[in-house]
Structure 1
């Protein structure tokens, strides 16, 4: 969004008011006895707080109701086992955001090909970049319409995302081939049919040099700050420029992931991936005082590279995109897929001679090929053998089905 300085201040105030509203609501919820907790009581408390506290009234009433709705949804997710308990939102760790739950308050108009105008409550008319087609004017109807929006802030500024309600027909079953995918670092995505998806550095050489210079400048300025002393404006500006470059790299990475996963979902009917536990993969190698770890610095660098590739986000994008195109995503057990020969099925020591070369040491086989391609073939073979893992919900249904005793019809 193209905001003026006055509008930036207004949106910042609304975001801080929304965060404070969440924290006050959480504290109110924790203090009340269980028998007095209810959405109606919470709604009354929010209305009273907006009347008595001036700086909470900068948040529109609909946005305050959205905070209440989100808070109760967080508890429902916790009770269903989908998430942890909601907690206080810290100013330094949260994403500043404001919700506009009603689409009729937006009044969207298109200025020209690149820009549009939107009306935000208590802020006014704001220009935004028109990056996707929106159902406004004659394109809007009862089936396809804008139901709301969400404002979010990152290091590059404030952005707006619109919520759409639309009806899409159920996709036809995908008739494409099956494929196994091995995720890695040197080769981000290696498919069982020999296809690879690679990317370059997210920042240019000039941007990487600028980032290094800014990080060195921040470290040097930080040494002059005394303990407990407030951060200087120069140091804050340096941190802001560092965050801007990192946010730009993250946005390019996300764009590559979206384009890559969309291409895979369109080509293949069944996508098979490993059921990786990334938290275990990126565990530190420091060890304990009695048994210290080895090659701690190398393991730390490997962990950073794994986090930078965002394997979990790639699987999450593939999950809903394969379903949207009529396909399915399946997970198989991960152990041994990189060390097992895809031709003979044997696991022999020393078969993976390097990061990119796999040479089977079985005297009766001797197959040679790309190591990532070999892992992708093993992943697909596990699925074809029927070793696909059942999701958590499916396991619960299966356990309940096993507990039911079969009956004989009379």
Structure 2
């Protein structure tokens, strides 16, 4: 909500934890207990009659389980309540048609997480230019990487504060994801130009004004060679394994090394996406993209443009890559390769990078009023008629 030019904004910030082996083991135990609690809740849900599937009955069941099973007692009480709330919220999302029904969390296909619902329990302080300290229930004081200013200490208030956090374990170790609430001024309308963006094949991001955003390989040549060697080693060990034989520790270790390199590449790609979308949001007032299920770049652009006073628009995708942005005609054979567009219309002959041509068409559709109109929670497109030649690049 906004008042007097101010608005409440909520966002997340993820930081790497530096845990000793003993503290990492405590975090592992809590995460395993949280996953077990979820699975017990799901089993309880399936066994109970519909009239007894209430929040109060489920709360009583998990309290009794924490008293009866010592393993579950390592999970803080508030974290156990968070599991319960998350489970019931999953069913509400299912009933509303926003998600599938919740299911058991498998050992190898689920992420280990522990929720810290109350931000005041964290007691965060900054102890160094690069490090901060936080208190985790039943774990203790831990260090985390300080890469973003957080509302702590004298900077914290009722409007600007950390409302909670979640511990998340991935291939690269444990991280803490803070939930932050701030009160900020409503941004003024962005005065920058409009731009069409095409998520290309030869160019990662091509803009209608001729700008491109490219990146290299996510792994260095040395890391790629190491990844290939690890994958070959894993394949050889799999061939030597007898049917029904348990996976050896060496093979598990090799899989962990492969996952580590892939996770490193994924994080570098995410870092590039964040930097690229931030630059676009600061430069342009309106970014127009195709209405396709594409990368998380669009999601990042949506909230980053809003924070800068800009907007994100979507237009119908059919024909944008085959239509000439100079004459407005779709002539067979114009898209000669993935990288080159040469208009076959005898009166035109315009040529350019194919992705830039598509970006120009995307922006032109928006300017002609063919943006998608949200209705009843879903996007509905107007019928895209034949368009006139684009007049602006």
TM-score exceeds 0.5? yes
1:149 is aligned, of 165, 171, 177, to 165
Q: Secondary structure at the match of 2:302?
A: helix
Q: Secondary structure at the match of 2:206?
A: strand
In structure 2, C-alpha distance between the alignment counterparts of 1:116 and 1:265, rounded to whole Å: 30
Q: Deviations over 1:103-138 (max 9, x none)?
A: 122122222111122111111111111111122221
Which residue of structure 1 aligns with residue 203 of structure 2? 187
Which residue of structure 2 aligns with residue 86 of structure 1? 102
Which residue of structure 2 aligns with residue 215 of structure 1? 231
Which residue of structure 2 aligns with residue 291 of structure 1? none
Deviation at 1:37, TM superposition (A): 1.7
In structure 2, C-alpha distance between the alignment counterparts of 1:230 and 1:171, rounded to whole Å: 58
In structure 2, C-alpha distance between the alignment counterparts of 1:394 and 1:133, rounded to whole Å: 35
Q: 1:397 and 1:224, CA in 2 relative to 1: closer, same or farther beyond 3 A? A: closer
Q: Does 1:385 align with 2:368?
A: yes
Q: Deviations over 1:181-212 (max 9, x none)?
A: 11023200001111100000000111111101
- Structural mapping, 1:19-34, within 5 Å: 19-34=35-50
How large is the RMSD of aligned CA atoms in angstroms?
A: 1.6
Which residue of structure 2 aligns with residue 350 of structure 1? 333
Q: Does 1:315 align with 2:298?
A: yes
1:35 is aligned, of 51, 62, 76, to 51
Q: 1:397 and 1:332, CA in 2 relative to 1: closer, same or farther beyond 3 A? A: closer
Deviation at 1:393, TM superposition (A): 3.0
Checking the alignment, whether the CA contact within 8 Å between 2:290 and 2:362 is kept in structure 1 is: yes
Q: Does 1:63 align with 2:79?
A: yes
Where structure 2 has 5 or more consecutive residues not aligned to the other structure, the ranges are 1-16, 382-393
1:360 is aligned, of 339, 343, 353, to 343
In structure 2, C-alpha distance between the alignment counterparts of 1:253 and 1:323, rounded to whole Å: 23
Q: Which has the higher contact order (CA 8 A, sep 6+)?
A: 2
1:2 is aligned, of 13, 18, 21, to 18
Q: Secondary structure at the match of 1:57?
A: helix
Q: Secondary structure at the match of 1:125?
A: strand
Q: Does 1:52 align with 2:68?
A: yes
In structure 1, C-alpha distance between the alignment counterparts of 2:33 and 2:321, rounded to whole Å: 51
In structure 2, C-alpha distance between the alignment counterparts of 1:253 and 1:204, rounded to whole Å: 13
Checking the alignment, whether the CA contact within 8 Å between 2:372 and 2:379 is kept in structure 1 is: no
In structure 1, C-alpha distance between the alignment counterparts of 2:375 and 2:225, rounded to whole Å: 46
Q: 1:56 and 1:394, CA in 2 relative to 1: closer, same or farther beyond 3 A? A: closer
Q: Secondary structure at the match of 1:98?
A: strand
Which residue of structure 1 aligns with residue 32 of structure 2? 16
Which residue of structure 2 aligns with residue 300 of structure 1? none
Q: 1:113 and 1:395, CA in 2 relative to 1: closer, same or farther beyond 3 A? A: closer
How many residues in Structure 1 have an aligned counterpart in Structure 2? 365
Deviation at 1:80, TM superposition (A): 2.1
Q: Does 1:126 align with 2:142?
A: yes
Q: Secondary structure at the match of 1:203?
A: coil
Checking the alignment, whether the CA contact within 8 Å between 2:373 and 2:379 is kept in structure 1 is: no
Checking the alignment, whether the CA contact within 8 Å between 2:35 and 2:105 is kept in structure 1 is: yes
Deviation at 1:392, TM superposition (A): 5.2
Where structure 1 has 5 or more consecutive residues not aligned to the other structure, the ranges are 278-310, 399-410
Using the size of structure 2 for normalisation, the TM-score is 0.90
Which residue of structure 2 aligns with residue 288 of structure 1? none
2:274 is aligned, of 250, 258, 262, to 258
- Structural mapping, 1:193-342, within 5 Å: 193-277=209-293, 311-342=294-325
Which residue of structure 2 aligns with residue 162 of structure 1? 178
In structure 2, C-alpha distance between the alignment counterparts of 1:238 and 1:82, rounded to whole Å: 38
Deviation at 1:395, TM superposition (A): 5.3
Using the size of structure 1 for normalisation, the TM-score is 0.86
Deviation at 1:390, TM superposition (A): 2.4
In structure 2, C-alpha distance between the alignment counterparts of 1:190 and 1:397, rounded to whole Å: 25
